[in-house]
Amino acid sequence: MTSVKEQKFEQLETKRDMYWMIINGERVESSNGDTYITYNPATGEAIAKIAKATKEDAERAVQAARNAFDLGKWRLSPVNKRSRTLNKIASIMRSRFNELVELEILDTGKSLGAAQGQVMQAIEDFEFYAGAIVSHRGANNSMPGQFQNITEKEPVGVCAQIIPWNYPLMMAAWKIAPAIAVGCSVVVKPATLTPLTAIVLGEICLEAGVPAGVVNIVPGAGSEIGNYLVEHPQVDKVAFTGSTPIGKNIMARASETLKRVTLELGGKSPNIVFADADLDAAVDGSLFGIFYNTGQSCEARSRLYVQEDVYDAFMEKFVEKTKKLQLGNPFAKETHVGAIINREQLEVIDGYVQSAIQEGATIVTGGKEAKVEGYENGFWYEPTIIANVHDDMKVVKEEIFGPVVVVLPFKDEKEVVKRANTSDYGLGSAIWTTDYARATRVSKQIQAGIVMVNCPFSAFPGTPFGGYKQSGFGRELCIETLDLYCETKSVISYFGNRPLNPFGL
């Protein structure tokens, strides 16, 4: 994601035994005292106990958010005060950078480099919205004669925000920062598997001066707590990042109360390498595009199209570098690929690979569970390249969400654009070419919310992130996101010398 300057990292062992919910400005246990345990995917070891929210707890959180919003202590506070508070959140996060990195690694099993980049971007998100909110305003529109029309941006209200397990802190920041910047109150449901950094972020918000009830964190089962929030009549908006099937379910449930909805869903992103590309750059970018974050990314470039003229040369370099990727200690700088989130997901990944073999594909490298010395009880999968595939295969059409890429040759530009767009998804895409006219031409034709040209990075604060088709709708990480958390009110005024008498009576 964002580039990070080289920083010294020292593991702090700052995790604690118990993480509580945050409701109305307080750390609280669940209403029935229930807890659950989270596990380190790299080792299989228990990390901590988490207070497990019940529907009663979710109700308390919604009411706290509703009261905070209606009373207006935060909503009606001056923009510059909200801006300063967001900057203070970022400042506290910077001071606790290593702690947040450590918790993110323990919670997800991802590599040090990935965790550092994602924590840094989470910090930069709050800094970005601290600045963006200052210039976010309505408009004065042209009207005839003695009329005036102004528009005002007002916060939408209480927002339920449902966070995925693959980017726990970064996705929490993507959602919390713009929502509270405009004056909304939020109820955040972190992923059950990875709640630690979202809970700590909620605590940091309180420390920075966000009033009680504005940011509430309720970890618990999505099928219970997530659905409860989505259906709640006092929740005004839902923002969700996760799988397309769950996104469809959320959209259907939210329709009962006509909630505003933002969905960032699955992907099967094409990565196109033309014959005139800088081959070394394309290899390195393609390597990052699929194996970063262990392939557990919605915009992972998992469909790799390589022009026939350079297919063999590209594959030789790509396979060689894939085999050099290091799996192992997530806290080691030399580790490139981290663990799979849990056993269930590992089996899903392997199931896709086995289906490819059954359909006649060739496993060029990888293709099985990895055994990592010292981490035998963790969940690991070898970086995998699959060739001899066709567009109708399951591994080409469906999101695998793991370190698996399919490679397909193509003849010409027209053909590859058509094949790239033959997908239910439309989140990310990448183009590698030294022909600027081609880059511009193909970018305009690709049906995706993000097009990366000679670049492996998909998200920086200020750049819109979101998808076409079944990859969802709405854009996050940008100024336009502020509007997704606002209502636009139109005020029409008359300043004529004589009263209006439309009926002439």
Which residues are catalytic, by number? 264, 298
Neighbours of 136 (CB within 10 A): 16
Separation CA 41–CA 198 (nearest Å): 18
Compute φ and ψ for 374, nearest 5 degrees: 90, -10
The encoded tokens of residue 238 equal 């839902």
Give CA–CA dist 124/116, Å, rounded.
Answer: 12
Q: Report the alpha-carbon distance of residue 394 to residue 122 in Å, rounded.
A: 34
DSSP character string of 213-226: TSEEE----IIIII
Q: Give one DSSP letter per residue of 438-505, joined into a string.
A: HHHHHHHH--SS--EES------TTS-B--EETTEES-BSSTHHHHHTEEEEEEEEE--SS---TT--
Cα 342–chain centre separation: 19
Integer Cα distance of 160 and 169 in angstroms: 16
CA distance 500 to 326: 76
262: left (phi over 0), alpha (psi -120 to 50) or beta: beta
Say how far residue 391 (Cα) sits from the centre of its chain: 27
- Determine the Cα–Cα distance for residues 319 and 286; give it in Å rounded to an integer: 11
Tell me the residue ranges of DSSP E strands in 87-146.
140-141
Query: For residues 184 and 158, is the Cβ–Cβ distance under 8 A?
Result: yes
